[in-house]
Amino acid sequence: MIGSLRGKVLRIDGVTALIEVSSGVGYEVDMPVSSLSELKIDAPCFVYIHHVVREDAQVLFGFSTITQRSLFRALIKVNGVGPKMALAVLSTFSVDEFVSSVLQEKASSLEQIPGVGKKTASRLVVELKDTLKNFANDSGQSLQSKQGDVSSSDDRFSDAVAAMTALGYKENDSVKYVKLVLKEEPSLSTQQIIVKALSVISKGGR
């Protein structure tokens, strides 16, 4: 499965970016407006990918941060919410704004999302409230804020998080522990980061 792409933006059509990777292959990636706005034609880019394999097609969804991708994955698990609506959510709200609205049970504010009516807005709050608590720390800040000085385009950071999730750890937990390790020892290699992160988890996250 494709987890990320690094390359050059060839063109943007609507909500789809064509990204050429180093091998010369171009991938069409559907993205929320908030992520597309950060791309520039003929400029290098890095995006996290959610790869969907269907009987009749393979579809790539791209995001500028790993937290956006985590929220997208949580959204498409909600009954009646598909990828198109999940992209609409991320195009309308930042991760922080959406998480805050759900945790505060402000269903009415979610009705501004295209395609979301009163019933769907209420369903989003009910089905995501417990899940999205994992996106917030004690002060109500999302993991997007907690990444701090660790760049989402850092190869070691993204590779370590990808490895952790492949081992079965939740993506938001992987971000948390990898960031913690890098904050304490910023010069570690990817393998060393993973080993340290697993050690922290085995000790109860301390």
Number of domains in the chain: 3
The average confidence (pLDDT) of the chain is 84
Is 23 part of any domain?
A: yes
Which of these three, 63, 90, 112, is where a domain ends? Answer: 63
Residue 7 has what pLDDT?
Answer: 93
Cα distance between residue 156 and residue 58, in whole Å: 27
- Residue 1 scores a pLDDT above 50: yes
Cα distance between residue 96 and residue 94, in whole Å: 5
Mean pLDDT computed over 105-126: 92
Burial class (CB within 10 angstroms; exposed 0-12, middle 13-18, buried 19+) of 105: exposed
User: Tens digit of pLDDT for each residue in 58-85?
Assistant: 999 999 988 899 999 999 999 889 999 9
Query: Which two tokens mark 20?
Result: 């050429």
Question: In what helix (H) or strand (E) does residue 89 lie, and over which residues does it extend?
Answer: helix 83-92
- Residue 121 scores a pLDDT above 80: yes
Mean pLDDT computed over 38-48: 93
71 and 129 fall within a common domain: yes
CATH number reported for the structural domain that contains residue 43 in this entry = 2.40.50.140
Instruction: Give percent of the chain above pLDDT 90.
Output: 47
Q: Structural domain of residue 111, as residue ranges?
A: 66-135
On whether the CB atoms of residues 45 and 7 are closer than 8 A, the answer is yes
Residue 140 has what pLDDT?
Answer: 40
CATH number reported for the structural domain that contains residue 114 in this entry = 1.10.150.20
Is 141 part of any domain?
A: no
Which of these three, 45, 63, 81, is where a domain ends? Answer: 63
Go through the chain and tell me how many residues it has.
Answer: 206
